[in-house]
Amino acid sequence: MLNWNDIIRFATHGNPEAPRRVEKTVEEWKTQLSPEQYRITRLKGTERPNSGEYCASHEAGKYACICCGEELFDSTIKYESGSGWPSFTQPIRENAVKYDKDVSFGMIRVEIMCNVCDSHLGHVFPDGPAPSGLRYCVNSESIKLLEIQ
């Protein structure tokens, strides 16, 4: 189970190796994604609080990257954080998500991205529930819920 020390180590000393890589041109991403998905995932945007499709969703399944389809989070680790964005306590695998120090907007945060295609997902914070204490705060536009097989 990842904890805040692991996140800081990844953000400062390098991320786990990705299971695969997906790289596309700007035009390929723009063709594949809606304008809002492109703004959030490729330009590091943020959706308005409480506006995302998955903010209050409690459906069972796995959440995958909207850009490349890589599985990122499981619904069993999703919780109501009150933040206005879907929140998870852990990624589905240690190497599913990559981390980067984010100093935009006069704050110091840790950005989370898909480790396969570098899609911006949101940020992770050390104020989540036990036992990990982590809150992965994710934009709904950056993920999709996969049907249970």
Tens of pLDDT, residues 96-146: 999 998 877 777 789 999 999 999 999 999 999 999 999 999 999 999 999
Name residue 87's beta-bridge partners.
Answer: 79, 137
Residue with token string 């903010």: 55
Tens of pLDDT, residues 3-60: 999 999 999 999 999 999 999 999 999 999 999 999 999 999 999 999 999 998 889 9
Alpha carbon distance 69, 146 (integer Å): 9
Q: What is the CA radius of gyration of the chain?
A: 14
Contact 113, 97 (CB under 8 A): yes
Q: pTM for this one?
A: 0.94
Alpha carbon distance 103, 71 (integer Å): 27
Alpha carbon distance 41, 35 (integer Å): 10
- 137 flagged as catalytic: yes
73 burial type by CB count under 10 A (0-12 exposed, 13-18 middle, 19+ buried): buried
Domains of the chain, start order: 4-146 (2.170.150.20)
* Whether the predicted pLDDT of 149 surpasses 90: no
User: Looking at 67, 68, 114, 137, which residue is catalytic?
Assistant: 137
